[in-house]
Structure 1
Amino acid sequence: MGNNPYKNTWETYTQSWSEIDAGKRLQLFEECLSPDCVYTDPLMQAAGYEQLAGYMADLQKNVSGVSFVTTDFKSHHDRSLTHWDMVDGEGNRLAQGASYGLYGADGRLTQMSGFFDPPTD
């Protein structure tokens, strides 16, 4: 199958989680996310760029240098399932999880659902 366009879209989305510059993050969003996208995880739901960017900024404040590393990516029929590690700025793995993505006709993500064990403290 070669180059998977959904994988490129997903990796751009993944990159947006560690982008601290709001303007650059918005540029990444415009490449990979539908403006009316909906993000859900065990802790919250965000609709659209502004709410999602706020959630990402909060995570960046709480976890210095946070980023996500894709460990497995599979896709079919405008859907993807990704397994990932959340790492800190030193590369220490803090969490593992999975995410489900749904892609619109333009190839951008319309829904992203993250699955992980929420912090217990």
Structure 2
Amino acid sequence: MTDLTAIAQNYVAAWNETDAARRASLLDTTFVQNVSYRDPIMQGDGHDGMTQLIEGVQQQFPGFRFSLRGTPDGFGDYIRFSWNLGPEGVDSVIEGTDIGVIENGRLKSVTGFLDKVPAQ
């Protein structure tokens, strides 16, 4: 049986990791090599694509951290979990929900939805 909470926790940890070597290890643990990521703002493929996305978010929002919101759930090969993004200790600035497809205990694809974004 797949541990949905562990998958979601590893996902969040990968987005938070600033050390390239530790992040690469988390990417191996969390995503298949040819992972596909899509959300309304960005997209990426493979571990290189995920690295570029993560580094881009970290540059755009320095000091912000992802955290899980609620409990991950799913069925079959699907996982759904929600997350917060913002400075630690204050209300989140951005919130989202991601739907993933799992293959052999790792994410094969992720489709992200933004639930809360700051006013432009």
* TM bucket normalised to smaller: 0.7 to 0.9
Deviation (angstroms), 1:101: 0.9
Task: Structure 1: state its 5+ residue gaps.
Answer: none
- CA separation of 1:5 and 1:70: change in aligned 2, threshold 3 A: same
Q: CA RMSD in A?
A: 1.8
Work out the number of aligned pairs and report it.
Answer: 118
Separation of aligned partners in 1, 2:35 and 2:62: 26
Separation of aligned partners in 2, 1:92 and 1:60: 18
In the alignment, does 2:106 pair up with 1:113?
Answer: no
Query: SS where residue 105 of structure 2 aligns?
Result: coil
**For 1:1-59, what per-residue CA distance to the aligned partner results, in whole angstroms no more than 9, with x for missing partners?**
xx961220221011110101111100001111100000101012100011111111111
In structure 2, the partner of 1:33 is 31
1:65–1:88: 8 Å Cα contact kept in structure 2? yes
Deviation (angstroms), 1:92: 3.8
In structure 2, the partner of 1:102 is 101
Separation of aligned partners in 2, 1:92 and 1:27: 30
**Percent identical:** 22
TM-score by length of 2: 0.88
In structure 2, the partner of 1:59 is 57
Separation of aligned partners in 1, 2:49 and 2:21: 15
In structure 1, the partner of 2:20 is 22
Separation of aligned partners in 2, 1:54 and 1:114: 16
TM-score by length of 1: 0.87
In structure 1, the partner of 2:77 is 78
Task: Structure 2: state its 5+ residue gaps.
Answer: none
